[in-house]
Copies of this chain bind each other. A is one copy, B any other.
Amino acid sequence: MSDVRDEVGAETVAELHATALELIDVARTIIERAWADGFTVERKRDGSFVTNADLEVEQRLRTSITQRYPEHGILGEEFPALNPHARFQWILDPIDGTEDFVHRVPTFGTILALYYRGRPVIGVLDHAALNLRASAAFRLGTYSNGARVRLDNTEVPSHSTRLILSARANFTRFRDEGHKFDALVRAFPNHRIYRSCFGHTLVAIGAADAMVDYQDRVWDIAAVPILVEEAGGAYHVVSEFDTPEGARVYSTVFGKHNVVTRLTALLK
């Protein structure tokens, strides 16, 4: 199979994966210290939370990436894009679920991904307060705390499918697609609602069967495609559109193949 990502070369992919893990170690150290010793909290213009830990992680990672790979692009939640036309693009969300972090719910996480010509090469999800990390690299597999994981794609009946959803608020965030949430909770009664990063990790390591994550920005969902693909699962963008302010918004379904097939059919 020809894949544009093979241009990167296996050795470079392995090196970039190692670099991503070093970067996420830096992020974890900053977040562990803030979680233990405290942090400052502010509200952004959209009302969402940002802490000094979010800003410090993103700044530190941007500096490290720029030093090693000055020609690479960087797209993060808290600062403007760098080198937006570069072939390699790092995408990061320093703390996904900052609201949970602020309220001391330990399921927040850090999202880091690397794309090459628009295709995912590296993905890392790290949960400092859970000592849990999922990572993947193109043609190198998916790992849970360093151990290789592969999804079990045997059939799961709908009533016992372990499905993760985003909150109903996500389904109505920019467009009202609340009826899709209502259909999902009826068809798949064994559901949970978690924030993106925690849900993505659980699906990537096979702890849940699938997730339906609605109306996200690119940094929310940047890591999960390669994590799921390399674990042997499926990832689909079920819709994407631009907000009136020009922000691209994605709704996605991913996890075990047969569950994703059923979910995609239901969401059509």
Contact = CB atoms under 8 A, between A and B. Distances in A.
Contact of A129 (B130, B192, B195): B130
Interface in A142-188: 160, 162, 165, 167-169, 172, 178, 181-182, 185-186
A257 to B, nearest CB: 18
Interface string A79-94: 0000000000000000
A186 B168 contact: yes
A158 B206 CA distance: 34
A193 B198 CA distance: 13
Interface stretch (A5-13, A62-70, A103-111): A103-111
Contacts of A193: 165, 191-193
A192 B99 CA distance: 12
Contacts of A208: 103, 105
B202 A189 contact: no
Nearest to A193: B193
Contacts of A205: 104
A194 interface: yes
Contacts of A105: 202, 207-208
Interface of A: 47, 99-100, 103-107, 129-130, 132, 160, 162, 165, 167-169, 172, 178, 181-182, 185-186, 189-195, 202, 205-208
